Structure 1
């Protein structure tokens, strides 16, 4: 068999594989899973950030930092050719959910001072991690733009959120925060 014919058969075979649904028993891939999972990972930074702010006396709501994040993700959205206003709305919800966790932790620590942290990671390290999650999230928003703006978005989002919450064993506070952080993902519904 010639090389060209072999290459043609390989290409045709690979195209056919994608043309058929997954076999029975295979898990379907939710297009929003990675975005929601990254949002959950970003929310997980709330506890170390809250600890740092508790120990160092920083404010939970940091308008300057929030504006830096929103400007950066807006610029990243523009670079990806997607709507910056939508991305800024998504990240405003993410920031608000993260702050909600931090306020809850502060309240818990005020009610029960022995549970308050006595050490915390460097805030700069947490912010570096957050910046990385932000980049991944904007990349995923760009990749999943059509899914996020489809009529099936709400169902896919609900499925992805449940899967992430279960796999990451999120407690009720983090489940509520994840729901809040993702509430603007599906503008078409």
Structure 2
């Protein structure tokens, strides 16, 4: 996903349309979870653009605290380990911030490639919230697998499938590895 120029908004819109239609195939047991994590990472593009234009901070501790608190509450309601869920979502947030920092660095080094318009941050946050719900539902559905010795190979296969189908570049593959590093607890 190499969107870094002024076409950022159009690229994000295309990625969003593809995200609703494309599924990583073949669908392994963890593919839907990993695919939702990858789609959530892709929202870093318009978020970074918005923060760049508005001179906003990449890190937003108050929003992170709210997101993790909500994830913990939903995990408790689902009867699963809230600490595990908070670790998973903390990794996802760290990976997203890493992409944003990378974009900021690129735009600082090549200002001509920087975005010239700020995408609607509330739309990006709504998309993130939707991906969070999908991810939590997948964690609940795949709880036993995520806590079994079979998780590692299933996770590797899912990451490879998603990276191929979504055509993730090196940055996004690294971010996906960070975002999913706490999935397997078996």
- TM interval, short-chain normalised: 0.7 to 0.9
Which residues in structure 2 correspond to 1:28-107 (within 5 Å)? 29-107=27-105
Which residues in structure 2 correspond to 1:1-189 (within 5 Å)? 29-188=27-186
Separation in 1 of the partners of 2:26 and 2:66? 37
Separation in 1 of the partners of 2:177 and 2:98? 12
CA contact (8 A) 2:88 2:180 kept: yes
C-alpha deviation, 1:120, in angstroms: 2.4
Separation in 2 of the partners of 1:97 and 1:29? 24
For structure 2, list consecutive stretches of 5 or more residues without a partner in the other structure. 1-24
Separation in 1 of the partners of 2:128 and 2:27? 25
Distance 1:185 1:41, change over 3 A: same
Separation in 2 of the partners of 1:73 and 1:154? 23
Normalising by structure 2, report the TM-score. Answer: 0.85
C-alpha deviation, 1:121, in angstroms: 1.4
- After superposition, what is the alpha-carbon deviation per residue over 1:108-142, rounded to whole angstroms, capped at 9, x for unaligned? 00000000000121111100110010011000000
C-alpha deviation, 1:175, in angstroms: 0.5
**Structure 1 residue ranges, 4+ long, deviating more than 4 angstroms after superposition:** none
C-alpha deviation, 1:28, in angstroms: 6.4
Q: Alignment length, in residue pairs?
A: 162
Separation in 2 of the partners of 1:99 and 1:136? 20
For structure 1, list consecutive stretches of 5 or more residues without a partner in the other structure. 1-26
Separation in 2 of the partners of 1:92 and 1:63? 11
C-alpha deviation, 1:32, in angstroms: 0.5
In terms of Rg, which structure is larger? 1
Q: Secondary structure at the match of 2:28?
A: coil
After superposition, the CA RMSD in angstroms is: 1.0
Normalising by structure 1, report the TM-score. Answer: 0.84
Distance 1:29 1:106, change over 3 A: closer
Q: Secondary structure at the match of 2:119?
A: coil
